A and B are shown apart, each in its own frame.
Chain A
Amino acid sequence: MATVGAVEPGHRGRTMVQEYLPAVVVFITAIALWEAFVFVFKIQFYLLPAPHVIIQTFRGQAPIIIEAGLYTFHEALVGYGVGCGLGVLAAMAASRAPGFADLVLPYAIASASVPIIALAPVAIVWFGIDQGSKIAIVTLMTFFPMFISTLRGLLSVPPQSLELMRSYAASDGQVFLKLRLPASLPYMFNALKVGTTLAMIGAVVSEYFGGRFKSLGVYIVSNASLIRTREAWSGILVACALSLTFYLVVVLVERLVMPWHTSTRKA
């Protein structure tokens, strides 16, 4: 164990280019293979349009697709906020009563293997055809992972860290704010990252069962059912772009909030 030398904080093992170059290369290669596949095997556009055709279609349809995209993203964002917020609050409450936590945790975990999206048609009956039913589904889909992760984080604080607080005669509130909460941030961010994808899936797929025409799900499903696959694919493209952006924003926030964490630091 070295004692004299410490790791320099400014020292980063890899540069930005070295870190992101492989991912960029893989992405471009995949698009090129897709183009080549469609061209070489003369795939009909309604089966699988080439990437450049999808981009072209998107350009022509941009105003309507972007409007639909923002409408759907709004549902995802609101549901995500409510679901994750309630998940954290529920976990905080449950962590105060470990007996209660033991009681509900198996059900919460089981809910992760239940296809909540199957409730989408019922949600329409309950909350109407508009954004309400979609937000409800997204809320439900993001709530349980957030609840489970946060609760695990709050309850998995190392015993010696708690003993240290005990030796200072810290209050329960101080133990929560200065130990349990920061210690569970990595768990919470894991759920927040998973939640971005769940939120977009929840919003788009809920719309497949009906909703406003200028929403991403309805746009994709109505075009696909008319074999207008180029339009459907450009809708899918926007759904992917929104989902990816959402995820990356959360990753960025994670890096700003936890510069100290293993997942963030580069040594």
Chain B
Amino acid sequence: MTAPIISVQRVSKTFGRGAGMTHALEDVSLETQPEEFVSIIGPSGCGKSTLLRIVGDLVEPSAGTVAVKGKSPHQARLDRDYGIVFQTPVLYEWRTVLRNVELPLEIMGRPRAEWDGRAEAMLQMVGLKAFQQHYPWQLSGGMQQRVAIARALVFNPSILLMDEPFGALDEMTRERMNLELMNIWSQTSATVLFITHSIPEAVFLSSRVMVMSPRPGRIERTIMIDLPRPRTAQTRLVPRFFELVTAVREGLREDPAVAAGHDFVEEPV
């Protein structure tokens, strides 16, 4: 095994104090290998987004240690190791699609001469080159999220953090976005930490799926996804895909809190 890209050791996170205190995460550990695609799945409110935000240095852990490429998350952020995609596209409405994708290059002081070329190549990759002069409001939700992915990858970050990026999309759009993400990811060398509450999505995309339980959030089990790559539309039809979907679903169900019927809605396969 090579040195892990992301190493989370016994991390806990609490919000608030006294009676109002909530345990968002308890004793969570995980490691990701280079160029691995790891999904964290769990019901709403299980703390999976908090885990991603701790890795991305947007939130401090209450206990435990996180190392990213052998550094602190803070140093990794300063070194511009992270590309982040949120649940909403978070595009700047005063910038055209092209200028939105160029934003990180501007901030990071890359030479102006390379902005257009790099951003256009990224938009080509997500299939939106024809829309580069449009404003965000002129695009549909799925297209906006593709712009956000292009923006996250334009500066070649070694780590891509995706926080339920397709959670707001309808099932059909989501499946198409999953296919496109696989296609895009195969052209990069980024390690992906992907948060989702969709079982088929997690199975389709990942090399490993980590199942989280809610309140306090902890990782219950890890399921290796041994589906061959490249993953295509056909991948969703093979028996092994259904076996793995079932395995993840069982993993979620075995959790006592979920079995007791705590607000977990199953995704239709």
* A contact set with B: CB distance below 8 Å: 1-9, 158, 160-161, 163-170, 174, 178-179, 182-183, 185, 258-262, 265, 267
Contact of B90 among A161, A168, A260, A267 (CB under 8 A): A161
**B interface: dominant SS:** loop
Tell whether A163 pairs with B143 under 8 Å between CB atoms, given A7-B138, A168-B80.
no
Q: Is the CB–CB distance between B104 and A168 below 8 Å?
A: yes
B139-174 interface (Cβ within 8 A of A): 139-143, 169-170, 173
* Known contacts A6-B143, A169-B107; 4 further A-B pairs (Cβ under 8 A): A1-B142, A167-B77, A169-B78, A182-B92
Q: Is the CB–CB distance between B131 and A6 below 8 Å?
A: yes
**A interface: dominant SS:** loop
Q: How far is the CB of B244 from chain A (nearest CB, A)?
A: 27
Tell whether A6 pairs with B93 under 8 Å between CB atoms, given A160-B86, A166-B77, A260-B135.
no
Q: How far is the CB of A254 from chain B (nearest CB, A)?
A: 13
* B contact set with A: CB distance below 8 Å: 56-58, 77-80, 82-84, 86, 88, 90, 92-95, 103-104, 106-108, 131, 133-135, 137-143, 169-170, 173, 176
Q: Is the CB–CB distance between B90 and A2 below 8 Å?
A: no
B169 contact set on A, CB distance < 8 A: 1, 3
A3 to B138 CA separation, bound complex (whole angstroms): 11
Please count the residue pairs between chain A and chain B whose beta carbons lie under 8 angstroms apart in the complex. 89
Contact of A267 among B88, B93, B137, B140 (CB under 8 A): B137
Q: Is the CB–CB distance between B90 and A164 below 8 Å?
A: yes
Q: Is the CB–CB distance between B107 and A165 below 8 Å?
A: yes
Q: Is the CB–CB distance between B140 and A168 below 8 Å?
A: no
Q: Is the CB–CB distance between A169 and B77 below 8 Å?
A: yes
A71 to B252 CA separation, bound complex (whole angstroms): 77
Q: Is the CB–CB distance between A168 and B141 below 8 Å?
A: no
Q: Is the CB–CB distance between A260 and B176 below 8 Å?
A: no
Q: Which 6 A-B pairs have the closest CB atoms?
A: A3-B142, A168-B107, A7-B138, A182-B94, A167-B84, A260-B135
Q: How far is the CB of B209 from chain A (nearest CB, A)?
A: 25
Q: How far is the CB of A105 from chain B (nearest CB, A)?
A: 25
Q: Is the CB–CB distance between B92 and A179 below 8 Å?
A: yes
Q: How far is the CB of B218 from chain A (nearest CB, A)?
A: 25
A169 contact set on B, CB distance < 8 A: 77-80, 107
B77 contact set on A, CB distance < 8 A: 166-167, 169
Q: How far is the CB of B178 from chain A (nearest CB, A)?
A: 13
**Closest B residue, CB atoms, query A165:** B107
Q: Is the CB–CB distance between B137 and A260 below 8 Å?
A: yes
Q: Is the CB–CB distance between A6 and B82 below 8 Å?
A: no
B82 contact set on A, CB distance < 8 A: 167
Q: Is the CB–CB distance between A167 and B90 below 8 Å?
A: no
Q: Is the CB–CB distance between A1 and B140 below 8 Å?
A: yes
Q: Is the CB–CB distance between B84 and A3 below 8 Å?
A: no
Q: How far is the CB of A176 from chain B (nearest CB, A)?
A: 12
A267 to B136 CA separation, bound complex (whole angstroms): 13
Q: Is the CB–CB distance between B140 and A170 below 8 Å?
A: no
12 sampled A-B residue pairs with Cβ under 8 A: A1-B140, A3-B141, A7-B137, A163-B90, A167-B58, A168-B80, A169-B77, A169-B80, A182-B94, A260-B137, A267-B137, A267-B138
B139 contact set on A, CB distance < 8 A: 6-7
Q: How far is the CB of B228 from chain A (nearest CB, A)?
A: 28
Q: Is the CB–CB distance between B93 and A260 below 8 Å?
A: yes
B108 contact set on A, CB distance < 8 A: 168
**Closest A residue, CB atoms, query B90:** A160
A6 to B88 CA separation, bound complex (whole angstroms): 18
Contact of A174 among B83, B88, B107 (CB under 8 A): B107
A163 contact set on B, CB distance < 8 A: 58, 84, 86, 90
Q: Is the CB–CB distance between B94 and A170 below 8 Å?
A: no
Q: How far is the CB of A12 from chain B (nearest CB, A)?
A: 13
Q: Is the CB–CB distance between B80 and A6 below 8 Å?
A: no
B133 contact set on A, CB distance < 8 A: 9
B90 contact set on A, CB distance < 8 A: 158, 160-161, 163-164
A241 to B90 CA separation, bound complex (whole angstroms): 42
Q: How far is the CB of B257 from chain A (nearest CB, A)?
A: 29
B92 contact set on A, CB distance < 8 A: 161, 178-179, 182-183
Q: Is the CB–CB distance between B138 and A9 below 8 Å?
A: yes
A185 to B176 CA separation, bound complex (whole angstroms): 36
A158 to B90 CA separation, bound complex (whole angstroms): 9
A183 contact set on B, CB distance < 8 A: 92, 94
B86 contact set on A, CB distance < 8 A: 160, 163-164
